[in-house]
Amino acid sequence: MKKDISIQNITIASIKRSAMDIDTWEYSKISAETENKYIDFELDKNELPIFEIKSQTKHTLITTRQILEIENNNLKSIDFESIDDVIFGDFKGTVNKPKLSIFRIIDIYGEQIDFQMETGKASIGLIKSVNTVINLKRESLHE
């Protein structure tokens, strides 16, 4: 089982290899802190942030263990071990695409949970962060 710091480092490196124009992202950012500075969220000991999307109404955080989102003081979350599928949507070629959209998580029980995502170039950061952590978690099950 990989340590949280390894998951964070591998995932952030993956994002940086694929992402373009990181400084132009409006709502998204890579979160490389090694301690919990997120007052909106209570993270477990050693759990580390990787990526966040902060809009006017929602704050979403991808960590080394889960996806969390808070809106109007309502928190929803899912741990990576409970994810069965992720649907990011396809905006390529869409005219007048929104700056924010949703991505959908389907858990192992078939339930759907929607989280916010920034469209455009920032979406690769979210996609890489979620997919990389899922793959690292699955790999560590087979070690």
3-class DSSP state of 126: helix
Give per-residue pLDDT as tens, 61-76.
999 999 999 999 999 9
Q: Measured between alpha carbons, how far is 59 from 51 in angstroms, rounded to an integer? A: 11
From the number of C-beta atoms within 10 Å of its C-beta (0-12, 13-18, 19+), residue 76 rates as: middle
Structure tokens at 35: 């301690």
pLDDT band at 33; cut points 50, 70, 90: confident
Burial class of residue 61 (count of CB atoms within 10 Å of its CB; 0-12, 13-18, 19+): buried
Share of the chain above pLDDT 90, in %: 71
**100 token code pair:** 């924010």
Nearest to 123 by CA among 48, 51, 71, 34: 51
The 10s digit of each residue's pLDDT in 35-70 is 656 667 888 889 999 999 999 999 999 999 999 999
Give the pLDDT score at 139: 84
What 8-state DSSP symbol labels residue 109? T
Helix (H, G, I), strand (E, B) or coil at 1: coil
Average pLDDT over residues 108-129: 94
C-alpha 71, offset from chain centre: 16
Q: In what order do the strands lie in the sheet with 74-79?
A: 28-30, 49-54, 58-63, 66-71, 74-79
